[in-house]
Structure 1
Amino acid sequence: MLSPMIDMIFLLLVFFIVSTMYMSEVKTIPIRLPIAKHSENVSKSNFNVTIKKDGSLYLDENKIEMDMLVQNAAIESKHDSSFSVIIRAEDEAPYKTIIQLMDKMKGAGVTRFGLATDTGESK
């Protein structure tokens, strides 16, 4: 009688492991990132900002204005000492927009940034 119960517990465990893996997936706008062969993987970030080649900004999957994005980041950085921003700029995104965003965030008190790249390896 114990064997079926162990089987059920094992199946529940597998279900929770698989469902947790899907919940941790980062959902962002699909873009073509610049390639860097010596980049590092960062597993955790509070803000994933995407800059498309037309200069539009997205916070995760939602389009947002730069001033609102900076305000949200300033509020979050005050509450969390390990707050960080990952900037995912499309390979043809205007450099000026990236620098403006980083400058405004730095002025708002955000000090931890990362720039997302692609390794160029096929998936």
Structure 2
Amino acid sequence: MAGGARQGDDETPITDINVTPLVDVVLVLLIILMVTATAIVRQKDIPVELPEAETGDAKQKEQPTTLAVSIDQEGQIYLDAEKISLDGLRTKARESREKDPETRAILNADARIPHGQVVKVIDVLRQANVIKFAINVRPSDLEE
């Protein structure tokens, strides 16, 4: 055939792009990113016994603008694993709120402390205009 396409011709150009190696490389990079990101963002833990709640999540996801406030069983207050007073917490919360209006707080309070101590900390956060906060709890085992 004078100008027709022949099948099995080795001189025809390759018109398909094989993306399998590209997908492999991207997935490996994604796995490396996920592993290193979790190692970098780990929260410094203060040993507290979280109260149980049937509606609680196993762990709250933290944002970069999140204040991690903890109250241990003796009633000591910590901000990002550093001991702090109520006035110091108020000052740091205000500074954070001025830098980022979307500042949030996660409160890790020991189940054995009086309710009034938690209310004081929440009040200090609200005085600093940190109105978005969550109380971290341990999910309870539901029996049906």
User: TM-score scaled to structure 1, two decimals?
Assistant: 0.79
For 2:60, the equivalent position in structure 1 comes to: 42
Question: Could you say which residue in structure 1 is the equivalent of 2:98?
Answer: 78
From 23, 29, 50, the equivalent of 1:33 is: 50
> RMSD of the alignment, in Å?
2.3
Matched, 1:57 2:77: yes
Whether 1:119 and 2:136 are equivalent positions in the alignment is: no
Q: By percentage of residues, which structure has more helix?
A: 1
Q: After superposing the two structures, state which structure 1 stretch, 19-28 or 85-94, moved more.
A: 19-28
**d(CA) in 2 for partners of 1:108 and 1:31?**
25
Q: Secondary structure at the match of 1:91?
A: coil
What is the CA-CA distance between 1:15 and the residue it aligns to? 3.6
Residues 37-58 of structure 1, C-alpha deviations (whole Å, 9 max, x = no match): 2124531241111101211011
**Percent identity for Structure 1 against Structure 2:** 25
Moved over 6 A (4+): none
Q: Quote the residue 1:3 is aligned against.
A: none
Runs of 5+ consecutive residues of structure 1 not aligned to the other structure: 1-5
Count of aligned residue pairs for this structure pair: 116
Residue by residue over 1:62-87, the C-alpha shift from the partner in whole angstroms, topping out at 9 and shown as x without a partner, is 11111111110011112212111111
1:19 aligns with 2:36: yes
The residue type paired with residue 39 of structure 1 is G
| CA gap 1:108/1:120 in 2 versus in 1, 3 angstroms | same
After superposition, the Cα gap between the structure-2 partners of 1:109 and 1:17, relative to the gap in structure 1 and judged at 3 Å, is closer
Residues 54, 12 of structure 1: CA spacing in aligned structure 2 closer, same or farther, 3 A cutoff?
A: same
Higher gyration radius (CA):
2
Equivalent residue number for residue 108 of structure 2: 88
8 Å Cα contact 2:69-2:107 kept in structure 1: yes
TM-score, normalised relative to structure 2 = 0.69
Instruction: Give the residue type in structure 2 aligned to 1:17.
Output: M
